[in-house]
Amino acid sequence: MASDLRQMWTAADLGWRCEPAPAGIREFHAKLPGYVPTPLVDAPELAASLGVGRVLVKDESARLGLPAFKALGASWAVHLLLTGRPAGTALTLVTATDGNHGRAVARTARLFGQRAVVYVPEGVHPAAVAAIGDEGATVVAVPGPYDEAVRRAAAHPGGTLVQDTAWPGYERVPGWIVDGYSTLFAELDDRLPTAPDLVVVPAGVGSLAQAAVTHYRSGSARPALLTVEPETAACVLASLTAGEPVTVPTGETALAGLNCGTVSSLAWPLLRDGLSAAVAVTDEETAAAAQALAAAGVPAGPCGAASLAGARAALPALDLPPSATIVLLSTEGREANPSSITKQALGMILPNRFR
């Protein structure tokens, strides 16, 4: 059930604009083994339940052979790191992860003949950790939260950091990662004759949300943009509410890939100026959303299902017409970060309003 006091932030659209992502990124991805645009699933049952005209789900459960969207950013960043270096250059690519980004860096390292070291915090499911190791990476367990894993990865001796969050002095590579996500939104444009009214984006440190803002605030289309986070780790929402970046303590959540306590310094200015709303949801709401997405044919993991949970929670506060088209970014499949919490919740008898 939803908490009695809904954690939410909204802003008026003041017409703020930014520069677009660089050209040529989708063309790069199209040359990678296994590239195909991920599905955009029409979900009329969800549209009816939300009281809107259309709901479309961008299903990222099979992106470049991995169960999440992260390979788009990791591959583009590593490509640029290697560009111009002599053939046979050997790098040790280092990152911290809640699961999906680390596996994407490990897969990309293997694809380009490089080594990878991945720091993993507490709370990541053992199957997700094993999947990173299966890609050939060295996995380092960190007895602490995600922010601590990031600190340790950044201090790794002799490594080249490929991190999807930024801080002052470390922004070039995270910027490349965000640019890589632009392919996802280019695919959406190909499928939609007109821009949607609302795009819902799960937010950890805010990098994918930054890519959404970059895409939709650099052109003529201006859909509302909503971020969704777990109540136990809502660093974007807390920062928007405070009007400045703040770090929040994190706790246990089924949304392991969003269990982040500090917003990316690179993302923050764009999120502050370009988002329409932000909301936090519970694990129970996300589990119910995962069940509804499964019924619609989308195998969403907890982070992917957060988009629907956030739309359900936030729509009463958003001024959308009854004919609105909503795009939900389902950022990971069920296999990305298995969760006993979610599996238990999905087995519950759920109220009709959650179906």
Please give the span between the terminal C-alpha atoms of the chain, in angstroms, as a whole number.
13
Strand pairing class (277-281; 115-120):
unpaired
Among 59, 98, 147, 283, the one annotated catalytic: 98
Verify whether residue 70 is a known catalytic residue.
yes
Distance from C-alpha of 161 to C-alpha of 97, rounded to nearest angstrom: 12
Continuous H helices in the chain: 25-30, 44-50, 71-82, 100-111, 126-134, 146-154, 172-180, 182-191, 207-216, 235-242, 268-274, 283-295, 302-314, 340-346
98 as an active site residue: the answer is: yes
Q: How many CB atoms lie within 10 A of CB 194?
A: 8
Collapsing DSSP to helix, strand or coil, 82 comes out as helix
**CA–CA gap between residue 252 and residue 95 (Å, rounded):** 22
Could you tell me which of 136, 132, 112, 113 has the C-alpha nearest to residue 124?
A: 132
Helix (H) / strand (E) containing 353: none
The residues, any chain, with a CB within 8 Å of residue 272's CB and separated by 6 or more, are 239, 240, 243
Q: Which residue among 70, 147, 179, 283 is the active-site one?
A: 70
Helical spans, DSSP H, in 168-234: 172-180, 182-191, 207-216
Catalytic amino acids? 70, 98
